[in-house]
Structure 1
């Protein structure tokens, strides 16, 4: 919902037109449980089957739906009883097909839970990680599980909520009336414009607060790299210096100057990616220069040290586990590799939070762009894999992060796409509490 009155009007009318065939034949055909759920999800983001009302109360349902509407993201939630009307096999893809709207779909079936998404809205990896994060061993209550899933999905999903959530009725007569009322939607569009303006101002204020946090950390990184350059005992004209060394030195200086210029031009948190990417390039140039001066070949291009990118490029990989988390392999500098081998804590980068100074991976999503600039060039799945189970990790699994360019991207979603989506693109992850079934597991994947 941008400042686009005519696209908004057109979207509403298209959505109403798409609803007509569903409602026109609805009275004549016998509904299945999924038909009822799909029809309800076209009208609003949360559906609770009457047989599953003990899982989620009316007030909890309304609160969850309101949060999704406020966020303006195409996130759909269905709470269903475990009975013959809802066979587990292919349940998620069948629900998506019958609803016919691009988005993220989460289903609580009895005590089981799983989710899937159209690839244009959220990647397979993002859905898998998010499902895993809300499925602790032993299960949990529906309200808490759905709250946590929706929190993560609203952070990561691309696109806008469907226009049909504006309140179209399930009764064919009322739908026809709404089509007529659509001629008056220009007035409603003006109201929507005012609401979106307030939302935009609120979002801009939040972005500026996040940028102020990042500026402190990035300025420390730029200063540290500048001090490295000051300590560097190299002159382009010194005896033994060759063109390759001079090129490395120039790249290091360009990285420093580029980082300063990018930070001065930063207006949004995502702009910080360019700063840390420039610093990473500069530090690799310094490592190459040091190797050439020692008569060695330049080192391979590796990610920065996971614990603190100011340590420079990593030299090896080591096993490490955050407190209470699973062990994983992380790229580390030589000094941190030695600390881990001796059973000591690595020299992790800490940042200031309301809870005091904590490691950056426990500081929340504000530091995603900072970390993404350092690590995105080494593969979109690297950093989320390193950070799985941490506060920052769940925020770095967006489809945009999976691009080698970082967090940018062309957002889409929430559109009425019919039922001809490619269900063969749906992954087969079975997330612990998943439903199982004939398709090898009802799991988070791409439609």
Structure 2
């Protein structure tokens, strides 16, 4: 592995990479539109909350084409007809904004600022295309399932955002959100089971060298999973069995609107921070320094060659691997389903329906909770040969990330993401993908 990238103890970061990272951060951080001082920005906390105090629907100007003024009035009328304290907030979310790019943070802030003892809130998800539902103090009106169900209904497959919000409001008002959600997941399970599948193929492979499972152009209704026998972080104590569920179209389609520039900025910052940590480490007290150096080197290489969100997520996974090496303590990799979820909180087993083997994976708390309640975790989706698929459905010989599950599927302590990048696997799989797309 080349040494031109590697910081050494008490030595500054390599000038070329440092300059590249700082330039990347500077360029990606520019371009915010100016506004008059003292004027609340569209989508700011104050703007959203003030609007909700006078009406039940807030739609950011960025969503004006998707939910027109007339449609907003119609949604307000439907909310009034339910007699429930429903509020709707639709606005773009980006890393570093007032809500840190998270729909959960948006919901929590709105609830706190409104100060209502009872509140039902419908918002777009982190990427702006689909819905999440939250209710306080408890989910009495099945808000969560109502929001999830609209992403599964066949009649809403090509519907706009306003129609989806309207149906969610109706389901909340009827109290049938859970019933509809379960009926739709059962339907999707039956439809998936009725189609041919490849038995015995490992994640990321297929007998014909192409992604497994049925895929429709631009959407994916793939991976009906059955997971069993949960494991906690180190001791892998037994946990309740997981039941079957389906990944809805929405889980994958949401990624089409993901903020690649924001993720690139985050990845650059992670590599820079890891480099500084390595630079300040003492080899005498940090036995994992050599591995951290490898991870830093590999993360820089992947960042330099990253072609999109999957590679940038790989940079995050490599940076986490480097931090774990410096800490010299066992740490789980980032979440298998999507490294952007952050560090895993435990391990569990899952297997896609139609396959024989179960695979031990690291999952974040949200994904683990989704599995246990028969919900679909939000999965990193990728475009592969013109189709949208979960990243782990790409053949392993064309994706380092599918082959390793961003660290979850590594074979042992000596098998690391950094080592695989160092032996050229990242470059080779990228080339195979390019050849397959030609």
- Which structure: greater helix fraction? 1
Name which one, 1 or 2, has greater alpha-carbon Rg: 1
State the TM-score, normalizing by the size of structure 1: 0.29
